[in-house]
Structure 1
Amino acid sequence: MNQRIANKVNTLAVNLYKVLGTVLLTIILVGLVSYLGVQGFFFVSRGWLTPTVVSPTDPEILQLNAQLAQQAAARDKVLADKRELEARLEQAERLLGAEKDFQQRFQVALGSERAARAKSLRRLAALRQEYLQAAGEITESNRAYAGMARTRTEALYEARLLEREERLTENHQLAQMAQSNLSLAEGEAELQTKLEAVKRELGGFDASLAGKSEGLTTEVLLLEREYTRSVLEVTRAESERKHLKESLRSMDGAVARYDALLASIRSSPWLKAIERGLTVAFVPYENLENARQGTPLYRCALRLLWCQEVGVVGQTLTGEVTVKHPVRQTMLRGVMVEVELQDERWSHEELLHLGRAPLLL
């Protein structure tokens, strides 16, 4: 009796083990077939896309916003530096204009001063001639009168016809006449000194205008020093203006590059999806031909089975993106497209099929 029960239990265990093995083997085979089927589908199929739910907190969005802020700040800094250089360029232009105007006015003033000195020289020369003629006549007249008056005074004094006081008065007048002759000589010397000084000044202006070093006076040298300083300032301002213009051209190029970079970042499909509130999906380049606008989209309950139409493909967004393959550990390059779904819950699907159900089921 016990042996019979034991045999039944053993038989039941063996049968149960066989059933369990069969079930497990079936499950393994189904899983293997499913895996190979999915892998084979993705190996040959070019009619699928991956819906993507874009959130402001996604790593891609955060990274793009950080890059956008960083590049915008760098561009603003370049623009600030450019404005500073523009202000310096305006200052250099004003300085250049002022110094060149000074040099022109300096030449005019130098010519005017030279003309004034020449006119003064002519006047002094004419005055000296008149003075010499008048002084000669006065001196000759004083000399003749003094000789005659001295002889007459002595004769009258010897003849007792002239008092001592009157004699002293006459001698005093003769002394005054001699003093007058001395003053005339001093005046002539002063006129000669002024004439020579004006001649030197005129020669200094002529030498300066002719660009010669001989004959220059200290007054003209001091004036030329100011002119030389102005020339040096013009040279420095022209050099600075050239440098600033080159720097501004470089900054314009840098701003243009920053603008292109910012435009590229702003044109990212991720940012467009966030800004415009789009529902988007990733399409690999090899599937793009089948993802034209208006193409129907199908969702399958078991990846490849029990499928239903859930929406259509919209416009393709510009810009390349990189997304991980739905079943493989590889990265795919492609683009983002707008999708119009009948229900927003389908945007959370891992996979949608393009054009038709993959197995027509």
Structure 2
Amino acid sequence: MQPRSSRPRFWIALQPSIVRIYKMAGLVALTAILVGLVGFLIINIFYFFDHTWVRPVVLSPTYQRVVEASTQLADSKLRASQLATEKLEVEGQLLELERVIAADDTFIAEVGSAADAPRSGDQWLLRRELEKTRLEKENMAGKRVPLGQRIDSLKLRIKDQDAVVNRLAQSPYLKAIDNKVTLAFVANQNLKNVKIGTPIYGCAWGLVWCHKVGTVKAVLDGEV
């Protein structure tokens, strides 16, 4: 009588198949790693030597830079409004000053020489009022130049602030306040190859399965 085997014949027969499966799985994994490494090297070499690639970015209303651009524009507009209000106030002060000077000139002209040699009490009072009016006129006239210089300074500041507002308003980030916007950020060394009408291609994976996705519609400062 023969002794019974400690292992079922089924597992003994299956062992070679399991070994082959392990070898095939290892070969597939090694091949995948090798393909991934080669693909990684090819992509990096391509981006290093090629100067026609761009990086797509989808901007949404909640994108951080969109929020920052919107806030900066609002702050700049508020500052421009404050400067314009300050200019109006100073211009109002200058107009009020001119009215006071005009009234003083009228009073001085009406009095004329009547108070040059006062004799009565009324004439002395009139002379005193005349001197006060002349002093007030001189003080007001002395404020003309500073107020005029302040207005000129405010005009320059308003002009500069308006330029800042206009520059910020051209930011592509503001286009994404209401809707999503797709932009292509271009590296500085690639800008010379980007022009209006240049076709843009997108790839499904790395440099594989590429197809045309659009064209350059406008070239912005450092961005497309």
Shorter-chain TM-score range:
0.7 to 0.9
1:20 aligns with 2:47: no
Task: Give CA deviations for 1:193-223 in whole Å, capped at 9, x if unaligned.
Answer: xxxxxxxxxxxx2xx7xxxxxxx77655433
2:58 & 2:102 partners in 1: Cα distance? 63
2:111 & 2:210 partners in 1: Cα distance? 95
Partner residue in 1 for 2:184? 281
Give the direction of change, closer, same or farther, for the CA distance of 1:100–1:276 in structure 2 (3 Å limit). Answer: farther
2:193 & 2:8 partners in 1: Cα distance? 69
1:80 & 1:58 partners in 2: Cα distance? 33
Q: With structure 1 as the length reference, what TM-score do the two structures score? A: 0.53
- Among 116, 126, 129, the residue aligned to 1:223: 126
SS of the residue corresponding to residue 109 of structure 1 reads coil
- Among 140, 160, 165, the residue aligned to 1:262: 165
Partner residue in 2 for 1:299? 202
RMSD: 3.0
Give the direction of change, closer, same or farther, for the CA distance of 1:241–1:276 in structure 2 (3 Å limit). Answer: farther
Give the direction of change, closer, same or farther, for the CA distance of 1:286–1:276 in structure 2 (3 Å limit). Answer: farther
Q: Is the 8 A contact 2:84 2:158 kept in 1?
A: yes
Task: Give CA deviations for 1:32-91 in whole Å, capped at 9, x if unaligned.
Answer: 112222222211111112334343443323222222222212221222222122112111
Q: How much does 1:260 deviate?
A: 0.8
Q: With structure 2 as the length reference, what TM-score do the two structures score? A: 0.81
Give the direction of change, closer, same or farther, for the CA distance of 1:275–1:283 in structure 2 (3 Å limit). Answer: farther
Pairwise mapping of residues 1-361 of structure 1 onto structure 2 (< 5 A)?
5=9, 8-110=13-115, 205=117, 220-271=123-174, 280-317=183-220, 319=221, 334-336=222-224
SS of the residue corresponding to residue 60 of structure 2 reads coil
1:27 & 1:278 partners in 2: Cα distance? 36
Q: How much does 1:262 deviate?
A: 0.4
Task: Give CA deviations for 1:245-266 in whole Å, capped at 9, x if unaligned.
Answer: 2221222122112101101111
Aligned positions, number: 219
Q: Percent identity?
A: 33
1:312 & 1:107 partners in 2: Cα distance? 81
Q: Is the 8 A contact 1:293 1:313 kept in 2?
A: yes
Query: For structure 1, which segment, 48-57 or 229-238, has the greater mean C-alpha deviation from structure 2 after superposition?
Result: 48-57
Q: Which runs of 4+ in 1 moved over 6 A?
A: 273-278
Q: How much does 1:272 deviate?
A: 5.0
1:23 & 1:69 partners in 2: Cα distance? 58
Instruction: For structure 2, list consecutive stretches of 5 or more residues without a partner in the other structure.
Output: none
Larger radius of gyration: 1
Q: Is the 8 A contact 2:197 2:215 kept in 1?
A: yes
Q: How much does 1:277 deviate?
A: 9.2
Q: How much does 1:309 deviate?
A: 3.1
Instruction: For structure 1, list consecutive stretches of 5 or more residues without a partner in the other structure.
Output: 112-204, 209-215, 320-333, 337-361
Give the direction of change, closer, same or farther, for the CA distance of 1:310–1:219 in structure 2 (3 Å limit). Answer: closer
